[in-house]
Amino acid sequence: MKISTKGRYALRMLTDLALHRDEGYISLKEVSEHQGISKKYLEQIVPMLNRSGILRTNRGNRGGYMLAKDPKDCSVGDILRATEGSLAPVSCLDLEINDCPRLGSCTTLYIWEGLYEKVREYLDSITLEDIVKHEQEASGSDYSI
């Protein structure tokens, strides 16, 4: 499994919004400048995050973007599923019900199921709040959410 630029940039964008949460709506231009990510690229990511209910948008003079959820309620797994789709290591685990014709005779399925479980467990255990706290500890900042 390889996380695309889309997933990595979405995580950076949402972390930035969590860091600046007390400032209200933040423009994409500001996020772009803070993160060194093209505004045009961020514009491609926004619809996915809106559809998933992670991002809130406000148009107009004081428009911009903010988290739709508290940072403690938004996991890395949520963000990556919104931008990457399934996190399954093999296609037969993409669907809730595995309909692979080799299901009954697949000798390696347990490996992929175990890997998938660990990946989900790990990514769902880290929240935006955790990332912000880690960033603050690393930079020595006392900024709080």
Contact of 103 with 93, CB cutoff 8 Å: no
Lookup result for tokens 């969590």: 18
Per-residue confidence (pLDDT) for residue 2, from 0 to 100: 86
- Which residues in the chain land under pLDDT 50? 144-145
User: What structural domains and CATH numbers belong to the chain?
Assistant: 5-139 (1.10.10.10)
3-state secondary structure of 56: strand
Average pLDDT, the chain: 90
pLDDT at 72: 97
pTM check: above 0.75: yes
For residue 17 the two structure tokens come to: 């919004």
Q: What are phi and psi of 99, to 5 degrees?
A: -110, 25
pLDDT at residue 142, as a whole number = 55
From the centroid of its chain, how far is CA 74?
A: 8
> Percent of the chain beyond pLDDT 70?
97
CA distance 82 to 45: 10
Looking at residue 141, what is its pLDDT? 62
